[in-house]
Each structure stands twice: as C-alpha cells, then as structure tokens.
Structure 1
Amino acid sequence: MRRGSIFGAVATLGTFTGLLKTASAQSSAAGTVKVGLDSGAFTPILKTFAPEFKAATGLTVEFESYPLGNMYDQNLLSLRQGNARFDAFDFWQNFAGDFGPYLTPLEDVGSLETLNFSDVAKPFQLLNYYQNKLVGITIDGDLFVDTYRSDLFDNADEKAAFKAKYGYDLAPAKTYKQYRDIAEFFTRPAKNLYGAVEVTSFFVYAFFMNHFVQIGAEKGVNYGEIFDANMKPNIANPIGEEAIRRYIEMTAFMPKDLAKAMPWDVGRQLYFAGHIAQANWWTDMAKGASDPAISKVADDIRCAQSWGEVTMLPYGRALGIAANSRNKKGAFTAIAWLQQSANATRWVAETFAQSLMDPWRISMFESPKATFPLQSASGFADNFAQTGLAALHNPKIYLDISIPGTNQYMSSIIQHVQAAINGQVSPMQALQAISSEFDETTETYGRDLQIAHYAEYRARMVKNGYWT
C-alpha cells in the first residue's frame, strides 16, 4: 500500500492554506475579508493591522490562525467546495502547483504595480506561478544561510588549533569539506557543544535537496533536476547516493540522542541555547539567534552565504486568493495592503517570538535598520542584509519544483531519506523506493500532463539563469 502524504491529503487534492475570506457575496472590494494564516505566521501585529486596514480601505479584515499541520488538508478541502473558508490564504510556495487549480490568478483581480511586485526579489517572483499565471505573492522569504558563532570563529586559540589540525584558516565554510571539518572540530559532547545541526525529521526534504543540489553543481551538471524530460526519476544515482551519505555523516556532529530525528524547532532551540557552532539553515535561525530575548548567544551571531555554489530557497510562504472566494476584490485589497513596503517591513521587524516572517523584498535588505531594529546596534542587521542580498544575486540559485503532485514527491523523499538516516535501509535502497513512488505519483496525475508542467517550470528557471 502506498504511503500516506507527510503533509496531509493526497496531492490530487493539492492546495495549501487560506488567507482572506469574506462573508460578502459580492465581488467588489467591500464587506468583510477573512484572512487565514498558519500559526507560525500569525502574529500580534495582525491585530494592530486590522483597524489600520479598515481605516485605510473601509474593509473589515478578520485574521484567523490554524496549526501548521492543518495548512494543507483543511484549506485544500475548502477550496474544492462551494464556499471558501478564506478569501485569501498563505501556502508554502512549492505547493503553488498543487494549489494552482484552486487559486485565482492575481492579475485577473488587480495589477502587479498595486502589489509593489517589482520590489520582490527576483527569485521570489518566480516561485508562485501555475500554468504561467501568477497565483501567489511571497510573504516569507526563506533561503539557506550560514549562521555562525563569531565568539568561536574569531577566537585566536580556536583559530590556531583549527589550522594546526586541518591546514587552512577557520572561516565560514564555502565547501562541503570545510563545512564537515568545522562541524567535526567544534563537536565536543563533554562541553555540550556541537559543530552543526540539520533537521532529520519532517523537513528532511530541504536538507537532502541542499546536499543533492550542491553535489550536482560541484560536478558541473544541471543541478537539482530530479526528473528527466519525460518525468522519469533522476535521483537513484551516484549524486543522490552521495547526498544521503553526506547527510548521514553530518549526524555525527549533532547531539547523539537527537541526531537521527532532529525536529526543526528543537534544532533552533539548541542553537539559541549556545550548543551549536554553525547552522546551514533558513534565515529564521539567524533572526532568532540574534534576538537577546530568547538567545544566549545573541551578541555573537553572524551570517555568511551557505557552503556550496548554489543558493537554496526551500519552502517560504506566499499569499493567494481562493478561486471560490466571493470577495476577490477585497482579498486582493488586503494582500496589496500587506505588501506595502512599510507594512511588510513592520511584519518582518517583529521579534522572533512574534513572527517567523523573513525578508523577501529588496527594500527590506536595503533598509536593515528598519527591518532588524533590535539587531542594528551590534552590526548584525547590516551583516544579515549584505549576506541575503549576495545570496539572492547569486547566479546559481535553486528554487524548489512547484508542479501538481509536489506534495507527494516531497513526501516520498522525506519518508525514505529519513529511513536511510536511521539505518533502516541503505542510501540506494531509499533512492530506489523514492524513484518507484515518483513514477506512481506521475502516473496518478498523468504523465503527459506532468511532463508539460515540469517543462514549463524548468523553462522558467532556465530562462532566468537557474538550474543550470
């Protein structure tokens, strides 16, 4: 029997979560707009936004949150029914292909200029298309960066000991070898210090794909392509096997009792508590680690581009409008108001405990003191902004696939790579199982249709200089 979806309902029902709904039956921007956000994105500032939004637009907005785990199932179900649960909703950007059939193209309701779309960083602009129509706009700019402890990396004794052992200077890693060496060097269980942290449960997909993509780039191939032109799996090969091997190797430099099943939230807390030297992780790690209210190492946090040639943009959130919304104009108005630079920046500027939103607009990176007011005095804000801009302007970027069935494809990777990490199967056995399930998912959706969707997505990436 085929495994169940990690993220909820089978991908044939694909769509993520809702953001704006209305009780009004009209299509004009009037009445009430209901906005649904997963609990990780729901913040106290939204309660401040609501009266401001009404004063500015005349519309009443109701923000509603729901657990992260319910994003996919509950919102997809409501999108397939007659009445929308929300007029607009947030979803992970790599599910635009799953939710696309149930979303309203934004340009059918309003203009991109109204959304201030040109200010969205180029890679984030490309993530939310379905059949060449924009069905979402980014509200959370996730990308991998290297968050490291400057008190360790700049320590003269540590630097001397590292060079004596490895023969080169201690600095933020630029290659896997350096990343691995640094992790080994700082792993000191007796002192409750470890050299790295990677998620080995739930979000396994993101970390496996990082290894897979970087190895492809190292070898000079079209990095990250998990299918060929006929949608045949391109993953059970030496690159995939080496990706899992590296992933398993990194678990030796994490707390032993958690290494084989490291949750994403626990990994962050370990870093905030001062137990991790470096983390190749989403930007929320740096945001939280630099917040003195929750982090013991806030004064010693710096960022650098992640090891490897390619900037990784896994996950991230977008806002879209339900096709079955009865107040699409109101939903668009709410999204446009949230996308105004000042409002968007205020959302990101919230503390880690209040908001997980990461910057996605160029203006946010160009105004670091406004985007990261708590960290501006230490110099972290400028450091973060410079690192983020460099990563987003990298000529080599990997954006996740976003086609129908992405939920199922990702779920296969998560399940079987996790089994390999735990030693239940060999890396190649895991990859062969993934390939078999990839084929099954492709046939479920229709191979010819999937070939067309993948070709469109790949062409969009290649046209913009990515994936090659």
Structure 2
Amino acid sequence: MGVSKQRSAEHFAAEQLSEIDTHGLIERRELLRRASIFGAVATLGTFTGLVKTASAQSASGTVRVGLDSGAFTPILKTFAPEFKAATGLTIDFESYPLGNMYDQNLLSLRQGNGRFDTFDFWQNFAGDFGPYLTPLEDVGSLSALNFSDVAKPFQLLNYYQNKLVGITIDGDLFIDTYRSDLFEAPAEMAAFKTKYGYDLAPAKTYKQYRDIAEFFTRPANNLYGAIEVTNFFVYAFFMNHFVQIGAEKGVNYGEVFDAQMKPQIANDMGEEAIRRYIEITAFMPKDLAKAMPWDVGRQLYFAGHIAQANWWTDMAKGASDPAISKVANTVKCAQSWGGVTMLPYGRAMGIAANSPNKKGAFAAIAWIQQSANATRWVAETFTQSLMDPWRVSMFESPKDTFPMAAASGLADNFAQTGLAALRNPKVYLDISIPGTNQYMSSIIQHVQAAINGQVTPMDALQAISSEFEDTTETYGRDLQIAHYAEYRARMVKNGYWT
C-alpha cells in the first residue's frame, strides 16, 4: 500500500508539517509553534512525570480538572475563583496539548491513582473512555446539569452501554462561513451566473460547493475558494463527504460497518468521497493543500484568503472578531452543503472512575453547565475560549452568546443557522465505541496518503478496511458488535437513520 500500518497520526502529521512550504501565507515558525502547542508533534513522552499520585493531591475540598490547552486555558484564571466563591471548593486546573488528550487521559484512567477528578475529551472517545468513567447519574441528577437545555444531538453523543458518561461543553458542528463582500458583489454575481448558469449563493449541494470553490480560486490575488483540513483532522472532512454521499443515495449515511462489524467503506461511496476530497484541494493554497492543519486553515480565512469554509462553528466565531480577523465585517453563515448535519468531534466532560472526589467533580461540571456560566464560556473572545454553543438557550439568546457579532447582525444569523442545523431531521453522530481512536487513525493515515497521491483511493480504502478488521479483532468482535448495535439503535431511535 505504500504506507506502514498503524503509525501514529501525530507522527504522520509532524512529518507532513516538516515538509511544507507556506510561501508567506503564514510564517513557518508560527506553523510549527502551533503544531507543537496543539499536539501534532506531541508523543506519549510528554506524559512522563506529569501523573500525580493521590498522596500528592490536595484534600477532598480540591477538585482536579483537566482541560486541553488548545481550547480555553486563558479563561481558567477567571473561572477558578468564581467557582470557589460559589461552591466553597478549590478547583485545580491543569492543561494538556490537544493532540495528547487521548493518550494522557486514557493512561491516567487505567492507573490506580487518577490524575484528574474530571476532564474533557472528544465526544467520540466516549466508547474508549467509557469503561473508566463514572455514569453521571450515579453521582447527581441530570436536572442539576440542566441537561434538558442541551440540544438533542449533543445529548446523544456521550453514552457508553446506554449510560451517560459525559456532557457536552463544546458543540462542534459543520456550517458554511462565507464572505458576503464576495458573494453579494454585483460583479461577482453576474460573472458567476454567466459561467455556471445559476445564481451565486451559499452552496446546498456538492456541485455548487465545488463550482463556488473553483470560481473564487485566484492564486494571483492570494484568494482561494475553499479550505478543508488535510492534516490530522482528515477524519472529520472525509466523513463529511462520505456521509453526504450516503444521504444522496438514500442509504444509512455514515454507516461504516454492517451489523457484524464488517467494514462498509471500500466501496463506490468511499471512493467518491476521496475523489471529492482530492478535487477540493485544487481550490486551496497549493503548497498547503496536501497537509493543511486545522488552525492554519482558520488563520488563512481570518487573513482574507478564503471565500467559503465548510468548517466547524469556531470559524465564524473567530472570523467575526476584529482583533484577529481582517474580514470581521463581511462574515455570514449558512447551513453546510449536503442534506446531513455533521457533528464531528466537540468536547465533553466526564468523571474519572478512579477519582477520590466524584461529588466535587460533579459540582464542577454542574457549575459550568449552569446557563449563565455556559453562555459566558462561549461568549468570551476567540483568544480566550474556542468553545462553540451546545445549549438551545445559547441559540435563543444570540446577543448574549455572540456579543461581538451582535451589532453586525451575524449573531442572529449564526444562531438561526446553528439551531436549524441541530433540528435537521438528518444528523450524523460520530461513532463512539471502543477502538474509535484506532478506527479514526486508520482513516487519517490512509486518506491523507490518497490525497497526497501516494496510493489510489481504493488502495487507501482497502488498507482502512484491513486495519478496521484488525482493530475489531483486537477489541473482540462479539463485544464490538454489541457496542455498534447500541450506536445504531441510538441513531434509529432518534430518527436519524430510517
């Protein structure tokens, strides 16, 4: 296949980053600095010496909270004293690189003395972390977490064996963030209509998305028509293409396994998903297109180099902040192209089963989940917090949730777009079964190899299928069948698959 099996995604990403030429769009030093902060070159070695024993911890009045440094470290100094004033408990925050979230926390959870009482994790790791987490309802009530206010899709992401083991604190979903100065310019509208035969507007189909990307790609002007991640977070963007194709064909979109856990990815839909992915890279900055990191993609948009971004909601939040964005006054949002709302990644908080202070951990989570605190969490500036809305009340009070965007009207636009997406009858929830990290890593590695032209799309898909089988056997096929059946039943019960 041309690519060794089961290599670390972080290692693979680091190799790609070391070879790219940014051609002045972003300084190379800044590119590598960001990679180190967010974990692209991080390894398990960073964990050495960081795990504290129980004897080294504070008394029961202290709650140890772990949060990834890529999202909200600056805001912790504000929240810690407020939490103590409200609860009488001391909160001890510690951060870790985003790329080490899985390795560091899983290693700690497997030890007798846990590093944290509560910590954040990607919601699709609920299946991997589930055996080591305490069901939230074993410690407190869902009403104390204001759970009914969590948007329905985000309610469903954090279950392990039908027990809620986490609650969302960051509501990532894909939306279309586009530049109104380009899309609504009379000259651009006329030229687009002449070339493609229909009106220029936010894309509703892949064809429209592709046409708009082609139309606005003007390298001589440092302007490009699209931006997608092709480094590390490849999984999310590949799955978006795969899911939308499934919906187009009227099948159970995003079902990567059958009922016996046999891979359902090395097929025409998978091949078309990679083909589309490769096609879109032609409308991105050439020397970054084959290894585009997520944070660099955002910076390119903020700098005014990108016309449209089918991306997580943090793109709109950052692009509307005039302190960091040159296009702050021209940002608008629309639902992403395709029939399905994508909810890849996003963060949750859970309680470690090896925590000696589970009541304190629940109190910390409940305090963050109070509507006023949660809204402040999202409303902070982009440099303070990357958190995206996950509660219905956040979308219903846009001026409080998106204060920077209120004056321009983007707050209402953003809120209406997000709420409509969450109420879409078609929603894709990432798989969250044991081994998800391994399944994801296989997709990341081999799809990126196909994007780079190292292997054909079908060779990549067959390699993924082979590694899927290996991972399933490692975890136990019968157990995996049961876990996947629970996931499928959750999708069907809530009407997302029919």
Q: Is 1:227 matched up with 2:254?
A: no
Q: Is 1:207 matched up with 2:237?
A: yes
| Residue in structure 2 matching 1:4, options 7, 11, 20 | 7
Q: Is 1:374 matched up with 2:404?
A: yes
Aligned length: 456
| 2:190 match: secondary structure | helix
Q: Are 2:446 and 2:461, in contact at CA under 8 Å, matched by a contact in 1?
A: yes
Letter in 2 for 1:307: W
| 1:359 match: secondary structure | coil
Aligned residue in 1 for 2:339 = 309
Q: Is 1:416 matched up with 2:446?
A: yes
Aligned residue in 1 for 2:100 = 70
| Residue in structure 2 matching 1:348, options 355, 364, 378 | 378
C-alpha offsets along residues 66-110 of structure 1, whole Å, 9 cap, x if unaligned? 111221111111111111100000000000000000000000000
Aligned residue in 2 for 1:364 = 394
Q: 1:168 to 1:340 in 2, by over 3 A?
A: same
The separation in 1 between residues aligned to 2:55 and 2:6, in whole angstroms, is 40
C-alpha offsets along residues 245-287 of structure 1, whole Å, 9 cap, x if unaligned? 0000001100111111111111000000000000000000010
Aligned residue in 2 for 1:324 = 354
| Residue in structure 1 matching 2:186, options 156, 172, 175 | 156
C-alpha offsets along residues 269-310 of structure 1, whole Å, 9 cap, x if unaligned? 000000000000000001001110000000000000000000
Counterparts of residues 252-271 of structure 1 (less than 5 Å): 252-271=282-301
The separation in 2 between residues aligned to 1:215 and 1:44, in whole angstroms, is 40
Q: Is 1:58 matched up with 2:88?
A: yes
Aligned residue in 2 for 1:185 = 215
C-alpha offsets along residues 300-347 of structure 1, whole Å, 9 cap, x if unaligned? 000000000000000000000000000000000000000000001101
Q: Are 2:62 and 2:90, in contact at CA under 8 Å, matched by a contact in 1?
A: yes
Q: Is 1:32 matched up with 2:62?
A: yes
C-alpha offsets along residues 369-418 of structure 1, whole Å, 9 cap, x if unaligned? 00011110000000000000000000000000000000000000000000
Q: Is 1:275 matched up with 2:305?
A: yes
The separation in 1 between residues aligned to 2:128 and 2:275, in whole angstroms, is 30
Deviation at 1:150, TM superposition (A): 0.3
| 1:281 match: secondary structure | strand
Q: Is 1:105 matched up with 2:132?
A: no
The separation in 2 between residues aligned to 1:256 and 1:40, in whole angstroms, is 27
Aligned residue in 2 for 1:129 = 159
**Overall identity of the aligned pairs, in %:** 88
The separation in 2 between residues aligned to 1:188 and 1:364, in whole angstroms, is 37
Aligned residue in 2 for 1:168 = 198
The separation in 1 between residues aligned to 2:404 and 2:484, in whole angstroms, is 42
Q: Are 1:22 and 1:31, in contact at CA under 8 Å, matched by a contact in 2?
A: no
Q: Is 1:82 matched up with 2:112?
A: yes
C-alpha offsets along residues 440-461 of structure 1, whole Å, 9 cap, x if unaligned? 0000000000000000011011
The separation in 1 between residues aligned to 2:453 and 2:116, in whole angstroms, is 43
**Of 458-467 and 190-199, the range deviating more from structure 2:** 458-467
Q: 1:165 to 1:91 in 2, by over 3 A?
A: same
| 1:3 match: secondary structure | coil
Aligned residue in 1 for 2:320 = 290
**Of 458-467 and 193-202, the range deviating more from structure 2:** 458-467
Deviation at 1:50, TM superposition (A): 1.2
RMSD between superposed Cα atoms in Å: 1.8
| 1:318 match: secondary structure | strand
Q: Tell me which stretches of 4 or more aligned residues in structure 1 moved more than 3 Å.
A: 21-26
**Structure 1: where are the runs of 5+ without partners?**
none
Aligned residue in 1 for 2:494 = 464
**Structure 2: where are the runs of 5+ without partners?**
12-43
The separation in 1 between residues aligned to 2:53 and 2:117, in whole angstroms, is 6
Q: Are 2:73 and 2:95, in contact at CA under 8 Å, matched by a contact in 1?
A: no
| 1:382 match: secondary structure | helix
